[in-house]
Amino acid sequence: MTIATKPRQPELKTALPGPSTKAIIERDAQHLSTSYMRPYPFVPDHGEGVWLTDVDGNTMLDFFAGIAVSTTGHAHPHVVKGVQDQITKFTHVCLTDYPQEITTSLAERLVRHVERPGEKWRVFFGNSGAEAVEAAVKLARNHTGRTHIISTMGSFHGRTYGAITLTGSKTKYKRGFGPLLPAVSHVPYPNPFRPPLGSTPETCGQAVIDHIESLFVGVIPADEVAAIIIEPMQGEGGYIIPPADFLPKLRALCDRHGIMLIFDEVQAGMGRSGKMFSFQHFFEHGDVQPDMITVAKGIASGMPISALLAKESVMTWPVGSHGSTYGGNPVAAAAAHATLDLLEGVVKHPDCGDNLMDNASQVGDYIMAELKKMQTQFPFLGDIRGKGLFIGLEFVKPDGSPDGALRDRASMAMFEKGLLNLDCGEAVIRISPPLILTREEAETGLEIMRQALSELK
Ligand SMILES: Cc1ncc(COP(=O)(O)O)c(C=O)c1O
Task: Please give the pLDDT value at position 28.
Answer: 98
For 199-215, write each residue's pLDDT tens digit.
999 999 999 999 999 99
| Percent of residues, the chain, with pLDDT higher than 90 | 97
Task: Please give the pLDDT value at position 340.
Answer: 98
Q: Is 434 in the pocket of ligand 1 (CB under 6 A)?
A: no
Q: pLDDT-derived band of residue 6, with 50, 70 and 90 as boundaries?
A: low
Residue among 296, 321, 274 nearest 138 (CA): 321
CA 127–ligand 1 middle distance (angstroms): 11
Atom of ligand 1 nearest to the CA of 131: 11
Atom of ligand 1 nearest to the CA of 231: 1
Q: Is the confidence at residue 238, as pLDDT, over 90?
A: yes
Task: Please give the pLDDT value at position 7.
Answer: 64
What is the CB-side half-sphere exposure of residue 35 using CA atoms within 13 A? 5
Q: pLDDT-derived band of residue 421, with 50, 70 and 90 as boundaries?
A: very high
User: How does the average pLDDT of the chain come out, rounded?
Assistant: 97
CA 126–ligand 1 middle distance (angstroms): 13
Q: Is 296 in the pocket of ligand 1 (CB under 6 A)?
A: yes
Q: pLDDT-derived band of residue 4, with 50, 70 and 90 as boundaries?
A: low
Residue among 250, 230, 271 nearest 354 (CA): 271
For 368-383, write each residue's pLDDT tens digit.
999 999 999 999 999 9
Q: Is 43 in the pocket of ligand 1 (CB under 6 A)?
A: no
Task: Please give the pLDDT value at position 3.
Answer: 57
For 13-33, write each residue's pLDDT tens digit.
999 999 999 999 999 999 999
Q: Is 267 in the pocket of ligand 1 (CB under 6 A)?
A: yes
Q: Is the confidence at residue 98, as pLDDT, over 80?
A: yes
Contact call for residues 239 and 159 (beta carbons, < 8 A) = no
| Percent of residues, the chain, with pLDDT higher than 70 | 98
For the chain, list the domains and their CATH numbers.
Answer: 19-62+349-454 (3.90.1150.10), 83-344 (3.40.640.10)
Mean predicted confidence (pLDDT) in 342-364: 97
Q: Is the confidence at residue 101, as pLDDT, over 60?
A: yes
Best residue among 125, 151, 157, 166 to mutate for probing ligand 1's pocket (most ligand atoms within 8 Å of CB) is 157
What is the CB-side half-sphere exposure of residue 303 using CA atoms within 13 A? 28
Atom of ligand 1 nearest to the CA of 67: 14
Atom of ligand 1 nearest to the CA of 133: 4
Q: Is the confidence at residue 36, as pLDDT, over 90?
A: yes
Q: Look at the alpha carbons of 1, 363, 236, 344 in this order and tell me if their dihedral is positive or negative.
A: positive
Mean predicted confidence (pLDDT) in 394-423: 98
Contact call for residues 157 and 132 (beta carbons, < 8 A) = no
Rounded-to-integer distance, Cα 249 and Cα 376, Å: 34
Closest protein CA for atom 16 of ligand 1: 267
Task: Please give the pLDDT value at position 259.
Answer: 98
Q: Is 132 in the pocket of ligand 1 (CB under 6 A)?
A: no
Mean predicted confidence (pLDDT) in 163-187: 97
Q: pLDDT-derived band of residue 436, with 50, 70 and 90 as boundaries?
A: very high
CA 240–ligand 1 middle distance (angstroms): 16
Neighbours of 158 (CB within 10 A): 23
Rounded-to-integer distance, Cα 298 and Cα 306, Å: 9
Q: Is 128 in the pocket of ligand 1 (CB under 6 A)?
A: yes
Atom of ligand 1 nearest to the CA of 296: 10
Closest protein CA for atom 4 of ligand 1: 157
Task: Please give the pLDDT value at position 2.
Answer: 56
Q: pLDDT-derived band of residue 239, with 50, 70 and 90 as boundaries?
A: very high
